[in-house]
Structure 1
Amino acid sequence: MRVKALLVAAAAAVLVVSGCGGKQVQDNQAGAGACEAADGRLTIATGNTGGVYYVLGGGLAQLISNNTKLRATAAETGASVQNIQQLVAGDYDIAFTLADTAADAVQGKASFEGKPQKIQALARIYPNSTQVVVRADAGINSVADMRGKRISTGSPKSGTEVIANRVVSAAGLNPETDIQAQRLALGKAVDGMKSGTVDGLFWSGGLPTPEITDLTTSLGGAVKFVDITPQLGAMQQISPVYEASTIPAATYKLAADVPTIAVPNLLVVREDFAAGNACAITKLIFDKRADLEQVHPAAKEITKDSATKTDPIPLHPGAQQGLAG
């Protein structure tokens, strides 16, 4: 019953809107020197409703509201690229993002070409697994087999879209012309897989992702996962954050483990985010991690050992203080 209650509370903390926020106390010295949050409100940018960002974001908002003077809410978004763009614009105060997208942002590359973004990290959190699922009758056994197929590459301006396009390119295909790219949110991609209007999908998310669980449970042997690790070498030439990983068979009741590519997730803020708030929130995440684990098991992979490994995104000074406590 405790798990159910926490999930309900987390969902209630999420604002299903495209953007509202920027309400935290704007004095970047608020709480400076003391690891204490100031009075105020803040909004957390999460991701698609069927993904782990959305679930954990709601849980984090509830955790902050219950344990600090801040009143936090979480917003459904298209995820990483959009999150950073709107974070910097002042629409949000904290954002979930993939580390590769965040690296592009601070370096002014890819979606942020020529426009370096002034963001800092609160912590590195759990990793995202790149989950590539296809219909068994689509004739797709490798990424190269996606030529001419209807493939969901994720929501526009999402981290999933960034990774999907890079994986497809690494296989020697042009994601704009060689596949029939469907830029769909996860829920719509899953619906398309069920109806047969989509041949396959890319998803970068924590394990398990609720919508992928729904897909594999509903269609069973009519869908399968694709091993994308042959593209790892080319991906690592783009960014060193990409690493080999595995989707354990038990995650989705598969016959065998699935080799894949993983990338860490970060919580990021603007440079002017109040030091006291940064310290209090970062410390809270680790002091109350067990509560987040009740919201989603991906939180079990949030560790202090990896929290500071955010390079090339600088760690916020307040977060440094919180992690040292």
Structure 2
Amino acid sequence: MQFGKALLFSLLLGVAASAGAQQQLSIATGGTGGTYYPYGGGLAELIGEHVDGYTASAEVTGASVENMALIHRQEVELAIALADTVRQAYEGSGDFEGRQVADVRALASIYPNAVQIVTLADSGIETLSDLRGKRVSTGAPGSGTEINARTVLESNGITYDDIEVERLNFNETADALRDGDIDAGFWSVGPPTSSIINLATTRDIRIISLSEEEIENALAAEPVFAPFTLAGGTYEGVDEDVRTVGVPNVLTVNAAMPEELAYQITRTLFEEVEALIEIHPAANSTTVEFSLDATPIPLHPGALRYYEETGAEVPERLRQ
């Protein structure tokens, strides 16, 4: 009888421990020198505070392209990626031809990236065409930055054969510019970003403006692009507005995520957004309106439930 009581007590303790256990979620982001990582870290904190039964952590990755593979293999639960990369993955087009990620779904589009082409002020590079023959970092392998860079370049008649290509992450690109190892670098990231901020404190920089024709060429090549104005004063020494293109960033999950979990994360994202804004100003764009306008693939049913509860009009293209 005493053994039976002891066994029952042990079982009850096990149930209690199990009930109190927190399930860990991983959020695939990018490098530490961009916006994905601090934004993902902020979202992880919000999930731990507001989604019962779950904690989360931001993971450093090679960014958009790699993140789609991680979502497909269900090695992470959430991932941030550029909208053009997400669209290509979902459709099996572009860089994802022959390796479609049909099971990716969106929770939200969270903020726009700006394609920022950075050089030193005394480099002599003032226009996109000036990159010909120069040493240029087009972004880390497997990143959305590289996809964006190729699109902007190729839509304006510049191929990889016309430049000396380096494929560096944000921090490596900033260091290489500072040390004179490259002449220019591409960032596709929500401004302001720490790696450019830090570079601008030690070197005088220039950010290349695209002409109206160059912007139109890029928009014709990539439907998710939109004109973007980087406000003067965003970075030290860059006092005039810079005209470029922007692309939304999408918070994605696998279609297999439980509907209730997807709903709770989406609700937390929008209802606790002020906490994200304190971490990074890019979160000022994290609104229901921006999300429904900018998301390129169908929503997860849990996210769709949240949007419908807000009374927002959900476009048919976002319904499965």
Contact 1:167 1:228 in 2 (8 A): no
Report the counterpart of residue 156 of structure 1 in structure 2.
141
Name the aligned partner's letter for residue 306 of structure 1: F
Contact 2:83 2:296 in 1 (8 A): no
Question: In the aligned structure 2, how far is the partner of 1:260 from the partner of 1:173?
Answer: 16
Contact 2:77 2:254 in 1 (8 A): yes
Instruction: Give 1:261 deviation, angstroms.
Output: 0.5
Question: In the aligned structure 2, how far is the partner of 1:55 from the partner of 1:255?
Answer: 26
Equivalences, count: 285
Return 5+ residue gaps in structure 1 as ranges.
Answer: 1-37
Contact 2:127 2:210 in 1 (8 A): yes
Contact 1:232 1:242 in 2 (8 A): no
2:173 is aligned with 1:180? no
Which of the numbers 181, 200, 208 marks the counterpart of 1:226? Answer: 208
Question: In the aligned structure 1, how far is the partner of 2:217 from the partner of 2:191?
Answer: 24
Report the counterpart of residue 98 of structure 1 in structure 2.
82
Report the counterpart of residue 252 of structure 1 in structure 2.
235
Structure 1 residues 260-293: Cα deviation after superposition (integer angstroms, max 9, x where no partner): 1001111011111111110000000111000101
Structure 1 stretches of 4+ moved >4 Å: none
Contact 2:106 2:295 in 1 (8 A): no
Structure 1 residues 165-215: Cα deviation after superposition (integer angstroms, max 9, x where no partner): 11111221212x111111001101100111111100000111110111111
Report the counterpart of residue 131 of structure 2 in structure 1.
146
Which structure has the larger Rg? 2
Instruction: Give 1:90 deviation, angstroms.
Output: 1.7
Contact 1:248 1:258 in 2 (8 A): yes
Question: In the aligned structure 1, how far is the partner of 2:299 from the partner of 2:220?
Answer: 24
Report the counterpart of residue 93 of structure 2 in structure 1.
109
3-state SS in 1 of match to 2:293: coil
Report the counterpart of residue 29 of structure 2 in structure 1.
46
3-state SS in 1 of match to 2:223: coil
Instruction: Give 1:109 deviation, angstroms.
Output: 1.1
Report the counterpart of residue 196 of structure 2 in structure 1.
212
Question: In the aligned structure 2, how far is the partner of 1:88 from the partner of 1:291?
Answer: 29
Question: In the aligned structure 1, how far is the partner of 2:167 from the partner of 2:189?
Answer: 16
Q: Comparing both chains, which one has the higher relative contact order based on Cα–Cα distances under 8 Å and sequence gaps of 6 or more?
A: 1
Structure 2 length-normalised TM: 0.86
Within 5 Å, give how 1:281-296 maps onto structure 2: 281-296=265-280
3-state SS in 2 of match to 1:49: coil
Instruction: Give 1:75 deviation, angstroms.
Output: 0.3
Report the counterpart of residue 109 of structure 2 in structure 1.
124
Contact 2:156 2:218 in 1 (8 A): no
Question: In the aligned structure 2, how far is the partner of 1:137 from the partner of 1:277?
Answer: 51
Instruction: Give 1:95 deviation, angstroms.
Output: 0.5
Instruction: Give 1:311 deviation, angstroms.
Output: 4.8
Contact 1:278 1:322 in 2 (8 A): no
Instruction: Give 1:82 deviation, angstroms.
Output: 0.6
Name the CA shift for 1:310/1:317 in 2 (closer, same or farther; >3 Å).
farther
Contact 1:308 1:315 in 2 (8 A): no
Question: In the aligned structure 2, how far is the partner of 1:106 from the partner of 1:96?
Answer: 14
Structure 1 residues 127-153: Cα deviation after superposition (integer angstroms, max 9, x where no partner): 001111112333212111111111010
2:152 is aligned with 1:170? no
Which of the numbers 217, 220, 224 marks the counterpart of 1:237? Answer: 220
Instruction: Give 1:312 deviation, angstroms.
Output: 3.6
Name the CA shift for 1:88/1:289 in 2 (closer, same or farther; >3 Å).
same
Structure 1 length-normalised TM: 0.85
Structure 1 residues 96-133: Cα deviation after superposition (integer angstroms, max 9, x where no partner): 01111111111111210122212110001110011111
Return 5+ residue gaps in structure 2 as ranges.
Answer: 1-20, 310-320
2:290 is aligned with 1:321? no
Question: In the aligned structure 1, how far is the partner of 2:277 from the partner of 2:48?
Answer: 17
Instruction: Give 1:310 deviation, angstroms.
Output: 4.8
Question: In the aligned structure 1, how far is the partner of 2:287 from the partner of 2:133?
Answer: 42
Question: In the aligned structure 2, how far is the partner of 1:211 from the partner of 1:46?
Answer: 16
Name the aligned partner's letter for residue 257 of structure 2: F
